[in-house]
Structure 1
Amino acid sequence: MSDRPRLALYVQHLLGIGHLRRAAALARAFVDAGAEVLVFSGGIPVPDIDFGAARLLQMPACLAADAAFSALLDAEGRVIDSAWKDSRRELLLKEMAAFQPDAIVIEMYPFGRRQFRFELLPLLYWAQNQGLLIVSSVRDILVDKGRDDRVLEAADLIRRYFDLVLVHGDPRLVPFERTFPRATAIADRLRYTGYVVEKPAAASATYDRNEGEVLVSAGGGAVGGPLFRAALAARGLSGLKDRVWRFVTGRNLPEEDFGYLKRASGVDSGIIVERFRSDFADLMARCHVSLSQGGYNTVMELLALRTPSVIVPFSEGQESEQALRAELLAERGALDVLPAEHLEPDTLAATLTRRAQIGALPIELDLDGGRHSAEITLAALAAKKAH
């Protein structure tokens, strides 16, 4: 057996792919810091996610039935039942015991992913009995569900089971208590890591944005249809209409929306439509201006690359996370934000043109969250073993 510390990372993405991408970046950072890492992924497999030298164990997959998370479906589109839950719980515990980790990092829980208590509570009980370091990994902003009982439950679970809470953010932008009112009750466990950002080669390259495209994207694309259609309508009204507009839709954009865009590109050579680009970071680094949804990963990469950006946050149902982060950054002049419910073509066209002229204004934030997460966790593990 290797002398390196062994770390298990649990992640469950349900709608977009942001959680999985952030987990992959963390896994690579832990490996770089000297750990042996096994990622337990419970969402639908996503091609081209880079886990580096970390190993990936794909559990029986499930996803959200819709943007409102009204139900959980298995890989065949069936609502998951108690037999499915029992089977996955047994597999998770079996594989976890076989790996024999020194530490477990659980993404989002107990601040989210409450639907997976059926396997996570038994996992926490097992890990505690094994004397493992138990870590929660959570983004800077939580979605406000308006449920004080859930906030109290999360704080209680942190105090009962967890040694650390890695908050992937910077309190200079938004302190954790802004969206988790019981933060003071778990303050001794909280550690701000800075934002977890991909480290693309493009970050060190120099491009002439004056020659660049208008880049339109929506993460995995599952809920990107309205944004893409609005961008297409805004193109002819924009001062940027003579530039190439590149739509990178994501693999999960519904076929109806993808077909609509492809038909437009068929009659206009200035429109390029693609599902996926492995060099997406390079596209962001050299584009004239970016239009995108406000996912954590995309926004932080845009900031790191100093890309002029207009953000249209996803805000269906009770989703508030993307909007709050984008608004806080807009207040500092780092980007522009347009609410999805007011996405009129003329307003969008004017905002894109204006942001392209202004450029990207720098903002002081810690964007080295992967490395800091690894350092904090492995230091805590060493201290736990020493006692």
Structure 2
Amino acid sequence: MKALIHVQHLLGTGHAVRAAAIGRALAEAGVAVTLVTGNRLPPTLDTGGLAIERLAPARAADASFARILNEAGAPIGDAWRAERTRVLTAIAQRVAPDILVTETFPFGRRQFAFELEPLIETVRAARSGALVASSVRDILVRKEDLAKERAMAETAARLYDLVLVHADPSFVRLEDSFPFAGEIADLIRYTGFVHTPSALEPAGEDGRDEVVVSCGGGPVGGRLIEAALGARALSRRAGDATWRILVGHEHGGAMLRALQARAGAGTIVEPARPDFARILHRARLSVSQAGYNTVLDVLSAGCAAVLVPFAEGRETEQSQRAQLLAARGRATVLEEAAVDASSLAAACDAAIAAGRPPATTVDTEGALHSAAILIEAARKPR
């Protein structure tokens, strides 16, 4: 059996992390998996067992996602779109997968319908009875125009056999962020959360009783990092701890060096680490945005947490996820618009004073469940 997974991350890297995890689970079950990426994969990503195909890279110009840029930083045009579609459909013809998974689309990435709808058509033509599935995270970004959300459901009903929702329905359901979930209820399968943290143990005492500040793998979170540089000196309950600030690789080496030069005593600034999940198990406190993968790492570690959800543009996903954790006593939430050194120090003190958060049990075997669901469905005639 063969599978092709298409992933296009534009700002953060969580989409690619989930797609690769599902691909590895399929590969471990004996499926030959091709992962097609439309952007550069993060250097810490485990792609073992996967055949990687790279399309011409594309990224968002900013958090509005209104403009998509090519590798040279120029807006993509018709010729670029035509060439990417040609390359992608050629890959699909060559692979002829039994299973096609599109990450996010049609519930996002609508700017890439130009290549994704031809991809689906090509796969169905190349392999009669191929299974076509959409892979979506726990919470979708809400649209101001309900007609756009209705169109997403209509596209799913027209083109897809399954919609894999990577969440534990006892914690959050698709209808909590997508008002037309009921119209595609027959397609939806909950997989549990996709969480595959690294088992790498940190060196020495790294992370021990520290405040660990992270901002994900994308080029965002600058405001949080800036606040963290000054917050240690203002904190009553964490001013004695080492603060370890992890900077995403896409911020670039120049920004990393500039931040390191400004870090005061007791503060370490370094690149994002593959052992991040294990560092949190040692930490006094985690300070982070509220991205899918980071929140799962925080829940797994059981440490106190401050969440500063990314909320630029029209982003609603991280704010909703952060509030879910706050409602369960698992995190202190500080809105991004309010974050500065003083407010961050106060939030850290509040989170530490609240003590160890209550245990939260959620299904985190989403990669394995996704693979099992896809394989079983692919074996059934359509």
Q: What range describes the TM-score normalised by the shorter chain of this pair?
A: over 0.9
Check the 8 A contact 1:45/1:61 in 2, yes or no: no
1:315 aligns with 2:316: no
Post-superposition Cα deviations, 1:198-224, rounded to whole Å, max 9, x if no partner, equal 143269x9x999942111110124111
Check the 8 A contact 2:134/2:163 in 1, yes or no: yes
1:213 aligns with 2:219: no
Tell me the amino acid that sits aligned with residue 273 of structure 2: R
Aligned partner of 2:89 in structure 1 is 93
Deviation at 1:128, TM superposition (A): 3.0
1:346 aligns with 2:333: no
CA distance in structure 1 between the partners assigned to 2:58 and 2:86 by the alignment: 16
Q: 1:295 to 1:320 in 2, by over 3 A?
A: same
Deviation at 1:369, TM superposition (A): 0.7
CA distance in structure 2 between the partners assigned to 1:364 and 1:114 by the alignment: 34
RMSD: 2.1
Post-superposition Cα deviations, 1:11-62, rounded to whole Å, max 9, x if no partner, equal 0000111111111111111112221110000013432311121111111111
- With 342-351 and 221-230 compared, the bigger mean Cα shift is at 342-351
Aligned partner of 1:108 in structure 2 is 104
Aligned partner of 1:160 in structure 2 is 158
Count of aligned pairs:
377
Deviation at 1:100, TM superposition (A): 1.6
CA distance in structure 2 between the partners assigned to 1:101 and 1:210 by the alignment: 43
Aligned partner of 2:244 in structure 1 is 246
Aligned partner of 2:280 in structure 1 is 284
Tell me the amino acid that sits aligned with residue 86 of structure 2: E
Deviation at 1:225, TM superposition (A): 0.9
CA distance in structure 1 between the partners assigned to 2:207 and 2:83 by the alignment: 55
CA distance in structure 1 between the partners assigned to 2:207 and 2:60 by the alignment: 41
Tell me the amino acid that sits aligned with residue 220 of structure 1: G
Tell me the amino acid that sits aligned with residue 289 of structure 1: L
Q: 1:302 to 1:349 in 2, by over 3 A?
A: same
Q: 1:84 to 1:308 in 2, by over 3 A?
A: same
1:360 aligns with 2:360: no
CA distance in structure 2 between the partners assigned to 1:200 and 1:255 by the alignment: 24
Tell me the amino acid that sits aligned with residue 242 of structure 1: D
Post-superposition Cα deviations, 1:213-249, rounded to whole Å, max 9, x if no partner, equal 1111101241111001111221111121121111111
Aligned partner of 2:191 in structure 1 is 193
1:143 aligns with 2:133: no
- With 46-55 and 109-118 compared, the bigger mean Cα shift is at 46-55
CA distance in structure 2 between the partners assigned to 1:281 and 1:246 by the alignment: 14
CA distance in structure 2 between the partners assigned to 1:117 and 1:353 by the alignment: 46
1:38-49 superposed matches below 5 A: 38-49=34-45
CA distance in structure 2 between the partners assigned to 1:281 and 1:215 by the alignment: 11
Q: Describe the SS at the equivalent of 2:93.
A: helix
Tell me the amino acid that sits aligned with residue 139 of structure 2: I
- Residue of structure 1 aligned with 2:377, choices 360, 364, 380: 380
Check the 8 A contact 1:216/1:231 in 2, yes or no: yes
Tell me the amino acid that sits aligned with residue 151 of structure 1: E
Aligned partner of 1:225 in structure 2 is 222
CA distance in structure 1 between the partners assigned to 2:51 and 2:280 by the alignment: 28
1:35 aligns with 2:31: yes
CA distance in structure 1 between the partners assigned to 2:98 and 2:66 by the alignment: 36
Q: 1:100 to 1:200 in 2, by over 3 A?
A: same
1:123-142 superposed matches below 5 A: 123-129=119-125, 130=127, 131-142=129-140
- With 282-291 and 103-112 compared, the bigger mean Cα shift is at 282-291
CA distance in structure 1 between the partners assigned to 2:256 and 2:144 by the alignment: 35
Post-superposition Cα deviations, 1:143-170, rounded to whole Å, max 9, x if no partner, equal 1111222112111111111110000012
CA distance in structure 2 between the partners assigned to 1:36 and 1:253 by the alignment: 34
Check the 8 A contact 1:45/1:58 in 2, yes or no: no
Q: Describe the SS at the equivalent of 2:250.
A: coil
- With 85-94 and 375-384 compared, the bigger mean Cα shift is at 375-384
Tell me the amino acid that sits aligned with residue 199 of structure 2: A
Check the 8 A contact 2:64/2:313 in 1, yes or no: yes
- Residue of structure 1 aligned with 2:181, choices 180, 183, 199: 183
Q: Which blocks of at least 5 consecutive residues in structure 1 are unaligned?
A: none
Q: Describe the SS at the equivalent of 2:306.
A: strand
Q: Describe the SS at the equivalent of 2:234.
A: coil
1:300-339 superposed matches below 5 A: 300-339=296-335
Q: Which blocks of at least 5 consecutive residues in structure 2 are unaligned?
A: none
- Aligned-pair identity in percent equals 41
Aligned partner of 2:268 in structure 1 is 272
Tell me the amino acid that sits aligned with residue 360 of structure 1: P
Q: 1:45 to 1:194 in 2, by over 3 A?
A: closer
Aligned partner of 1:61 in structure 2 is 57
Q: Describe the SS at the equivalent of 1:124.
A: helix
Tell me the amino acid that sits aligned with residue 99 of structure 1: V
Tell me the amino acid that sits aligned with residue 189 of structure 1: L
Q: 1:364 to 1:278 in 2, by over 3 A?
A: closer
